[in-house]
Amino acid sequence: MGYYVVSRGDLGPFRVKIRSASFSNISITPWLLRGVYVPDIITILASLYFILGDIDR
């Protein structure tokens, strides 16, 4: 998990962004799937173990 928090000195944060590990894993798929055969795509995506609910944040 990656957290990005910006404050202006108040009690609450000004900006908060959360990036999950699944988002980072799915972002490399265009580079990872370049030049592979179609049956191999299923195995490669299963090895990344991403959760779609995490990506939607």
DSSP-derived secondary structure letter, 1: -
Residue 54 has pLDDT above 80, yes or no: no
At 54, the amino acid letter reads D
Instruction: Kindly report, residue by residue over 18-50, the tens digit of the pLDDT.
Output: 888 887 788 888 998 999 999 999 999 888 888
d(CA 42, CA 20): 22
pLDDT given at position 46: 87
- DSSP result, 2-57: EEEEE--SSSS-SEEEEE-HHHHHHHTHHHHTTT--HHHHHHHHHHH---HHHHT-
Q: Across-strand partners of 5?
A: 16
Domain assignments of the chain as residue spans, ordered by start: 21-57
